[in-house]
Structure 1
């Protein structure tokens, strides 16, 4: 089974100022976000990626470009509308502090499956189209490159949280329990029996073990021996 590394874009000026950017054009990484993207690119440099798929928004494309600069190979670089930011509709561009006073806010926090943004999309629609896009690309990369293929998807906080919730078998109403930092790395493998969530929201750590042959698809009873049992020694 292939492996997808879910990377959130680095911090933006909107993130730093508490603005819900949504799909607003021209929202780019700030100095901190560029440093975060560089650190993530350094972590991923030891992993031979077959593809880096990005949301079309600038902040994700910037983060993807930094990752690609540290890759020795030639990963394909498709842009995927299915993992673009949620369409927050009338909420887009507003301050989070002001949105917290809206009647819809507690629904988004506690029952997101019932939340639909005025003039935008529902959170269920957001999850459905993002999960479909990730699974479609994952199947294509595995078919072309084999079960050891590793690829990156650069997307947004709520998108990645909804993908992780699906992989964990969680109802969307529980997805606010998941946290995804800017430029963080989460890792999922999709198998015939079930998805395996390998990591969530990591900001540091060695990823060289991902160069090895992937573990068996069946879950190891008792927890298994960990990455060291499968990974080759770093060169």
Structure 2
């Protein structure tokens, strides 16, 4: 069975400040995140991962670089826009609290009811759109490297919705799992066209 590892980027200044940080914006990693990414690399180094697929956003690129700095083997990193974070339109960079207070229904559906979430008024991305591109990137990588276990480095909502969708969870339930921590590791197994969830939001390596 092919093993697919998924890491969320390290915590950023906007994460700490509770600001909306989606596919069109970035902020620097915090100093602790630099160390956490290296710890993640130490945890993953013995798997012999040679193909890394990552979001091209700065926070993911830097996290991927720090992870692979701990590897002994040769590897290649590939970047794809399909793995960018969820697009929040005009809410990008804004306060999460402001969104919750001024548009409570929209914010509730974002966090709790993906099937009811409608971002059309502020030019955001829908959950089905996000899942389609995230799934496309994963399937494409499997087709390119069928004999390799793979490491993906990206974003919280992209991983949450895409991974749970691939294992068969309904759209309305995709936000029901615990949120992915920064530099956490999740894992899917893949064989004969089917995915299984082997691990979710593992953080023991950060202690």
Do both proteins adopt the same fold according to a TM-score greater than 0.5, normalized to the shorter chain? yes
Q: Separation in 2 of the partners of 1:193 and 1:58?
A: 32
Over 3 Å counting, the alpha-carbon distance change for 1:4 and 1:89 in structure 2 is same
Following superposition, the deviation at residue 120 of structure 1 comes to: 2.0
Instruction: Work out which of the residue numbers 120, 124, 141 in structure 1 matches 2:124.
Output: 120
Contact 1:167 1:197 in 2 (8 A): no
1:187 aligns with 2:187: yes
Report the Cα offset of residue 62 of structure 1. 0.5
Q: CA RMSD in A?
A: 1.5
> Does residue 137 of structure 2 align to residue 133 of structure 1?
yes
TM-score normalised by the chain length of structure 1:
0.80
Shift in Å, 1:176: 1.3
Q: Note if contact 2:38-2:69 (Cα within 8 Å) is conserved in structure 1.
A: no
CA distance in 2, matches of 1:204, 1:150: 21
Aligned to 1:172: 171
For 1:16 and 1:10, how far apart are their aligned partners in 2? Answer: 11
Counterpart of 2:18?
18
The structural deviation recorded for 1:24 is 4.4
Q: How big is the shift at 1:27?
A: 1.3
* Match of residue 60 from structure 2: 60
Distance of 1:124 and 1:90 partners within structure 2: 19
Superposed, 1:74-85 pairs within 5 Å as: 74-85=74-85
In the alignment of these two chains, the number of paired residues is 200
Other-structure match for 1:106: 108
**Is the contact made by 2:167 and 2:197 (CA closer than 8 Å) also made in structure 1?**
yes
Which structure's CA Rg is the greater one? 1
TM-score by length of 2: 0.91
C-alpha distance in structure 2 between counterparts of 1:199 and 1:25, whole Å:
29
Specify which structure has the higher proportion of strand: 2
Cα distance in 1, alignment partners of residues 162 and 133 from structure 2: 10
Which residue number corresponds to residue 221 of structure 1?
Answer: none
Ranges of 4+ aligned residues in structure 1 off by more than 6 Å: none
Whole-Å Cα distance in 2 between the matches of residues 86 and 30 of structure 1? 21
